[in-house]
A and B are shown apart, each in its own frame.
Chain A
Amino acid sequence: MKLALAIPTHNDHAGLERLLRQAADMEIFEQVVVVDDGSTPPVEIDATNLPFQVKLVRHDEAQGPGAARIRAMSEVDTSHLLFFDSDDLLGSDLVSLWQMLQDREFDFCLFRHDDSRNGGFGGQMPEDEALWQRAGCDTTEPELVASSAVPFLARTANYPWNKIYRLDFFREHKLSFSDILMHEDMELHWKGFLNADRILASTLVGAQHFVVEDGTRLTNRRNIARLRAFGPMQQIYQDLRDAIGPRDALTIAYLRFLDGLWHWIDGVTDTAHKELLQAHKRLFLRACLDDEQQNALLDCDPVLAESLKAHQLTAPHLQVNRAPIKVHLSGHHAKRTPLSYAALAPLFENQIVQVSDPVAADVIAFAHNMDLQDANLDVVSAWRDLQRPVILLSEEPFWDTIWGARPLDPVIVTDTSFGALPVRQISHQTSDLFRFDKIPYYLLTNHRFARAYQRHFQRNATRSALEWQEDFAKRPASISYMFERRPEPYHWVTWPEGDLIGLCSWRTELAEACRFKGVERLGRSWDGRESRLTLGYDWHMDKLTQLDGHARMIGAVENTHQPQYITEKFFDAFACGAMPVYYASPQHRIHDFGLPQESWVNLYGLTPEEGAEKIAQHEWNATFFEAFREAQNQLYRLFGTMDHWRAERARWAKKLPEVLEREIANPDRVKRPA
């Protein structure tokens, strides 16, 4: 077994030199093929002291990384090959990995990498970490990937440099890169997973990948060149479809990958090219999403079916004759707005655009009270001099109450370093924006909730009251609490006129007041385990996995009682097959779901001690199990159909622009000096 390193490079002489030095130190490469893709000045390599054969070839004019890698493939003389980019670094585990691979048979071996976007903490991007987890690949020793795990690994970022390929594997299946400027790696990646008989995977870190956000790398280009990728996209789909059919998990995985990729491309495509992009997506879907494929999707992943369909729709801005609303998101918490979530942002595409300059904005939005006082001069000037309205688009009643302290006021005045600023609060309390129809806002912020609930409630709805009763009898825990321990009394705040109550300290006291057998208090603040916020993978999946079928009850009390504010907690409890312990006034919207009152416990109006007593005394009788069965069926009817999710998303697509328009049309009247 001999290993070659193939490096396409373009005007990165320093990076190439660094990479060659690193490769020399590793002493695992027999050959290094460098394809100089039109660098100025041309690449020169002094191979005198390098412990491998160096082959330097040149494209006089830059042809892009795809063409350069294709050229490299044709020049390699070894049995195995690793593609690498000159601006990345080889991982320290690569030597061990290559040693472990000696005498192993494989078509390619996938290894892990560290991504610079993780702020130097190592690890891959969270999406990839989650996919590795789900694939169950957790050994350093390269192990054969089970066929059930292939669709997960195939959905990881389509990099060519995190795999050691057997060279004959390319030849046997005529595998290559696409000769395009961007996304040229997709073809080899997916066709590799499609055709490989033996894929190995190791958790060893073989590469350090560096990404300069908004830099000048090809991946940051926002131009029409990306659209050329639609040709290979369709070809890959056709190959998958012909080889394994529309229902195979790998075909579905590919469509899931495309759905995510398209959302990402949407976000980086210039406005001028959006319509063209839309047309490309429509053409693709028209060609590929025939009835057979659509039926397969509806059976396997109805959320994905809806999401793909949404790509076909004409962008809303093409349907309405108005310019998009320009919003400047400001502050550290700017990622926590309906405009910021990848799952929601497409709803507002071209109705609302984000601008980096507050002066260019129609409206300036903050997400968190805490950020308001740090408003910079540009923001204050935009309001002061240009009358740009400033809003607090807050999704968290917890922030509005504990930090804002005036959650009921439609307008609050905040001191900044440049003078006081009147800010209109658009919150659960002050706006009808969050007044959901069927699906509460928080569940829309990530598709994970729809997917998880669809599956869990489909399963749960098949169970009879008797089966639940038998199941509950086997539960190892009485009640599980999974929320942050916040005993500080200042968390207990109330605004009775708004039916608004801070519950952080109340629910902490409740958890501590439960002293009966089988009480679990989970999470870093209780048991020192890792916080969900630091988990690199899907915290919600992790939570459901931990709690599914585990406890008879789950503490689902929100951090704040607000009639419109309902997060995943209540539904997670039911999804895990446990009775939720909740806190809801008679006006709370949780009652609108119409679940049998006997199927959950409401501690509203009780002290923590009284609540603990009520929980301890709960009777697990036939009435409860029948109510619980009925609740599960109702929740399946609610979450199992995409209609409700789609309708709620449509409500948001309409409502948020309306709310912003209202602010722009009627900014608070301000008298100002000349």
Chain B
Amino acid sequence: MLNKFSSNSEKRVNDALAMLRERTQEGDLSDHVKIAKDIYLNADPNLGLGGRFQSTIGDIVTIDAQTPSNGYWIGLHIKLSSRDFGDAGVIGFASRGHAPEYTIVNPCIRSGTTDGFVDCFFDKHMLLHADSARYVDAVSIEDRDELPAKAPWRELILFLPTKDFQLTLTDLRVFVV
């Protein structure tokens, strides 16, 4: 099903994600961690985020996070190319992943503005659990005020739990159609 989406307009980030699935890497987690070109993890410094991330062949990334303190956010940021949506009607993404415990991820599209940025959250949360779970959602561009047609920059952000967690994203593809 994931292969059916036309994702040319986000070819660059989809290629970057695909490359992650074809290589092995690992590293420590901290407030700001680059995972690949255009893909990074950003966390509230108050959390004191620690732990490890790992990419293995067939998976995009496994994150094993420890949060000794309280904080407000951990986001997996994926830079998008679509600054001008043009005639496109929807933006969305499809993904697959799993986690040992029920883990909620809240995805959003962040668009840069002259004042900073605006977040457009998807209607559905992602629920990862022990069985591999598929997620597909899209937002209608013209129906959402928080999704300006033009923006100086955009990101898909997956907001992750701010407590200790472990999850694996095995696939993720962005589409604008």
Chain A residues engaging chain B, CB cutoff 8 angstroms? 384, 413, 416-422, 668-674
Contacts and interface: CB of A to CB of B under 8 A. Distances in A.
Contact of A671 (B101, B131, B133): B101
Contact of B102 (A417, A668, A673): A668
Contact of B125 (A413, A419, A669, A674): A419
Interface in B133-177: 133, 135, 159-165
Given A419-B126, A671-B161, A673-B106, 17 more contacts: A384-B104, A413-B127, A413-B129, A413-B133, A417-B123, A418-B125, A419-B123, A419-B125, A420-B127, A421-B127, A422-B102, A669-B102, A670-B101, A673-B73, A673-B74, A673-B105, A673-B162
B72 interface: yes
A668 B127 CA distance: 13
Interface in B87-124: 99, 101-106, 123-124
Contact of A674 (B73, B102, B105, B127): B73
B95 to A, nearest CB: 12
Given A419-B125, A420-B133, A673 B101 contact: no
A543 B91 CA distance: 58
A408 B105 CA distance: 27
A110 B106 CA distance: 64
B45 interface: no
B17 to A, nearest CB: 21
B48 interface: no
B51 interface: no
A-B interface, 7 closest residue pairs, ranked by CB to CB distance from nearest: A419-B125, A420-B127, A671-B161, A419-B124, A673-B159, A671-B103, A671-B165
15 contacts: A416-B124, A418-B123, A419-B124, A420-B133, A421-B127, A422-B129, A669-B101, A670-B103, A671-B102, A672-B103, A672-B163, A673-B161, A674-B71, A674-B72, A674-B162
A670 B104 contact: yes
B103 A384 contact: no
A674 B161 CA distance: 6
Contacts of A413: 127, 129, 131, 133
Most chain B beta-carbon contacts within 10 A, residue among A420, A668, A671, A672: A671
B153 to A, nearest CB: 22
Nearest to B126: A419
Nearest to A420: B127
Contacts of A419: 104, 123-127
Contacts of B160: 673
Nearest to B72: A674
A420 B123 CA distance: 11
Given A418-B123, A419-B124, A673 B129 contact: no
A384 B103 CA distance: 10
Contacts of A672: 103-104, 161, 163
Contacts of A416: 124
A373 to B, nearest CB: 12
Given A670-B102, A673-B159, A418 B124 contact: yes
Contacts of A384: 104, 125
A670 B160 CA distance: 12
B160 to A, nearest CB: 6
B124 A417 contact: yes
Interface string B52-84: 000000000000000000011110000000000
B127 to A, nearest CB: 4
A432 B111 CA distance: 52
Nearest to B74: A673
B65 to A, nearest CB: 9
Contacts of A417: 123-124
A668 B123 CA distance: 22
A422 B159 CA distance: 19
A673 B104 contact: yes
A278 B129 CA distance: 48
A674 B46 CA distance: 13
A420 B128 CA distance: 9
Nearest to B162: A674
A82 B33 CA distance: 84
B67 to A, nearest CB: 10
Most chain B beta-carbon contacts within 10 A, residue among A420, A421, A668: A420
A413 B163 CA distance: 22
A377 to B, nearest CB: 9
Nearest to B159: A673
B104 to A, nearest CB: 4
A418 B160 CA distance: 17
Nearest to B167: A671
Contacts of B105: 673
A384 B129 CA distance: 14
Contacts of A420: 124-127, 133, 135
A420 B96 CA distance: 13
A389 to B, nearest CB: 11
Most chain B beta-carbon contacts within 10 A, residue among A422, A668, A670, A673: A673
A671 B99 contact: yes
A413 B104 CA distance: 13
Nearest to A381: B125
A636 B26 CA distance: 72
A671 B65 CA distance: 12
A53 to B, nearest CB: 65
A420 B103 CA distance: 11
A384 B71 CA distance: 19
Interface string B2-39: 00000000000000000000000000000000000000
B53 to A, nearest CB: 16
Contacts of B71: 674
Most chain A beta-carbon contacts within 10 A, residue among B101, B127, B131, B165: B127
A672 B105 CA distance: 7
A631 to B, nearest CB: 47
A672 B133 CA distance: 16
Contacts of B129: 413, 422
A671 B127 contact: no
Nearest to A377: B123
B133 to A, nearest CB: 7
A672 B99 CA distance: 12
A464 B74 CA distance: 79
Contacts of B133: 413, 420
Nearest to B75: A673
Nearest to B122: A419
Contacts of A418: 123-125
Contacts of A671: 99, 101-104, 161, 163-165
A672 B163 CA distance: 8
